[in-house]
Structure 1
Amino acid sequence: MKKTLILLIVILTSNLAEAQFIKDKSIDAQIGYGISSPYYSVADIASDGFFLQGEYVLTATSWFQLRPYAGLILTRSNGKDLNDKPTNEKAESNAFLIGGKARVIAPIPWVAPYAEIGIGGSIGKFETFTAYTNINQSGFAYHIPFSFGLELGRNKDVDLSFSYYFQPTVEQFVGAFAIGISIPLRN
């Protein structure tokens, strides 16, 4: 599964860049507040941290884009739940993210909502410790990215997003509230 996923990502990112249906290319850089949370937990817990991501944006139409990405998520538990009570449960993730997404955008000027989904992999250290789960894993874990947000501005070059990466093998999801800026690439 790992080799197939990596091979698929490499093929998609290398061949799509020169495809004739691609109208524009740009780089999108995002930075934000990262979180990680377990799938199953007795307490309401979320670890917080840092999120950074870069995307190579391949625009096919005004409403559809392909987005190979690479990013970083670093979260750490503070030993408390969301109600500020001490807990032993935690979900931490320190990982490099890589994959590809497809974005569908409402073609509205100045404020365009969007949603995106894809597939990718996380490489790093994951710890999910709850009453139901005890996972301490390093290495590769596949993830399913899902995001929604707004593209802002005349050229839609500012991006406000909520991004989530569901990681079933380590029974947690990571996410971020991020702001991004798009830098067009000239041919």
Structure 2
Amino acid sequence: MKKNLIFLAILMISALAQAQFIKEKSLNIQIGYGLSGPYYSNDDIVDSGFFLQGEYILKAASWVEFRPYAGLIITNSNGKDLNENPTNEKAETKAFLMGGKARLRAPIPWVAPYVEIGIGTSIGKFETYTAYTNIHKSGIIYHIPFAFGLEFGRDHNFDLGFTYYFQPTVEQYAGALAFGISIPLKS
């Protein structure tokens, strides 16, 4: 099943890359403050770390883009909850991310809000330990990316947003507050 999903994703990405309806292509690099948290917890915990991602942007119209991506997220627990109280609960992720998503953007000059959703895989090590969950998993799992934020600049070459990867298999989410720069590619 996993091999079929990966094959299908690669096939769709290569088909989009050759599609006639693509108006512009560019590369987006994002860096940010990584976060991960459990779905269910007694304590309010969010583990922190580092996030880095690259996206190949295929612009179909001024308001829609397709974005195959590859990235890295690493989060670690500091043993405390959000109120600085000690806790044994944690939701750590050390994973390589890849997949595809679609971005819908309001075609507004200079500052444009956006939302994106897609499907992808996480490859790495995941730990979710709470009063309700005790999951320690290594390998490949699926995730559902969801993001929202603002693109800004004359050509919308910069963005600031929240990006999340919901990982139901390990009952946690990973994400980031990220800043991105888009670099146009010549045809």
* TM-score, with length taken from structure 1: 0.99
* TM-superposed deviation, 1:7: 1.2
RMSD: 0.5
* TM-superposed deviation, 1:4: 2.3
The CA distance in 2 between the partners of 1:96 and 1:5, in whole Å, is 17
Tell whether the 8 Å contact from 1:5 to 1:120 is kept in structure 2 after alignment: no
Residues 1:86 and 2:86 aligned together = yes
Matching of residues 40-55 of structure 1 within 5 Å: 40-55=40-55
SS in 2 for 1:20: coil
Matching of residues 90-169 of structure 1 within 5 Å: 90-169=90-169
SS in 2 for 1:17: helix
Residues 1:34 and 2:34 aligned together = yes
Structure 1: gaps spanning 5 or more residues:
none
Q: Tell me the number of residue pairs that the alignment of Structure 1 and Structure 2 aligns.
A: 187
The CA distance in 1 between the partners of 2:20 and 2:3, in whole Å, is 28
The CA distance in 2 between the partners of 1:99 and 1:87, in whole Å, is 33
Tell whether the 8 Å contact from 1:50 to 1:75 is kept in structure 2 after alignment: yes
- Counterpart amino acid of 1:147? A
Q: Deviations over 1:47-86 (max 9, x none)?
A: 0000000000000000000000000000000000000000
SS in 1 for 2:86: coil
Residues 1:15 and 2:15 aligned together = yes
- Counterpart amino acid of 2:8? L
Partner of 1:183: 183
Structure 2: gaps spanning 5 or more residues:
none
The CA distance in 2 between the partners of 1:64 and 1:183, in whole Å, is 17
